Amino acid sequence: MLDILLETAGFWDGIYGVLSAMMQPLYWAVSGILVFFHWAFTPLLGPDSGWTWALSIIMLTVVIRTLLIPLFVKQINSARSMQLLQPRMAELQKKFGHDRERLGQETMRLYQEEGVNPMASCLPMLLQMPIFISLFRVLEGVSSGNVRGQWLKDRPELVASLQDATIFNAGLADRVFPIEQFGATQVVGIILVIAMVGVFFITQLQLMRKNMPPESQTGQAAQMQKMMLYFFPVVYAASSVVIPIGVLVYWLTSNTWTMAQQAILIRNNPAPNTPAYIDWEERMLAKGKDPQAIINARAEKRRRTKKNPAATSRTVAGAETATVTVEGEETPEVKPTVTRQQVTRQVVRTTEDGKRVVARQQPKAQSRSERRTK
């Protein structure tokens, strides 16, 4: 039994060692960005000011979120596509609800046909987690003396400065709990937690009220969205009280960025049949633009991108192109050239009661032998 326990402990020690080695580049990057911005803000605020370090953490957040903008756009578009697919998914549920395997196959086929990736909505959060953990470990290491990140290890004077850094008398490396003595750290920490949870709640409420069509307000996905709206803030609040103040600054900045970024995206590219779309449509009409032409241009651009990402700047062969300006950007509107078949004539005849009836006259039928001789 002892041998089994020792082997298990050795196994987990090995896993921890691998994960720790994988995190070292992130510790290096996070500490490097912090040190760089600390150097940039030092002439303005001084090397030992807590606000120098707080602004460094905020700028770290800005750098990370700027790099994640493409993934965030994909996240919002994927979430919107999932919402719009809810009616069709409900139909599949009714049709194949008794056969779970067939339901899963048909659902995956629907995702492939519509180009929807359910996991895309989780990518920004998943990619942010290692950064979040790295910042947590760097600040926790400064607080405990187990410094992580080569940029800080090589500069003990910066470690001492960060250990003593405060904003409103709250230490950036300190936490709300455990409480040795209730003071400024607890007050600032609780205010940051309330602000962070409030921003998250507003962000989710903004998405549900402005950018979700009525038909997507019901069903499993809608229930999950509502659960996130009320459950996640509680989880945030419970977990945040054991996180260093500096990490709460990062988290609040990141949530604020998400709220603003989502508001801009919903305003300029809302989901169809939503309150935000009606507002956007009215703005486009007020500017003398055709909303449907803009939607068609965007859809055509997405289709070309999916088929051939390198051909986004080329037009479709045999198509006339026009330019549609979409709030500051020019997007080519593709007007396919339609090759018409031999159009059948319409014959108008009058019935006995005086009504005019339009009948479509079909071409004269030809026998197979007559068609083959041509």
The one-digit pLDDT tens for each residue of the chain (374 residues) are 555 544 555 555 567 567 777 788 888 988 999 999 999 999 999 998 999 999 999 999 999 889 888 877 777 667 667 766 777 777 888 888 777 888 888 888 888 777 777 666 666 667 778 887 888 888 888 877 788 888 888 888 998 998 899 999 999 989 888 787 888 999 999 999 999 989 988 888 887 888 777 766 666 666 776 777 777 778 877 888 888 999 899 989 999 998 998 899 888 888 777 888 888 989 999 988 888 888 888 767 766 765 555 544 443 334 334 443 444 444 444 343 333 333 333 444 555 555 544 444 444 444 444 544 44
Task: Output DSSP code: residue 120.
Answer: G
pTM: 0.69
The SS3 assignment for 9 reads helix
Task: Give the other-Cβ count within 10 Å of 53's Cβ.
Answer: 29
Task: Output DSSP code: residue 194.
Answer: H
Strand residues in the chain grouped as ranges (E): 166-167, 170-171, 319-326, 329-336, 345-350, 356-361
- Tell me the DSSP string of 315-354: PPTTEEEEEEEETTEEEEEEEEPP----PPEEEEEE-TTS
Structure tokens at 186: 């607890």
Taking 3-state DSSP, the helix, strand and coil percentages for the chain, each rounded to the nearest 5, stand at 70, 10, 25
Closest CA to 23 of 133, 123, 140, 147: 133
Identify the helix (H) or strand (E) that includes residue 141: helix 123-144
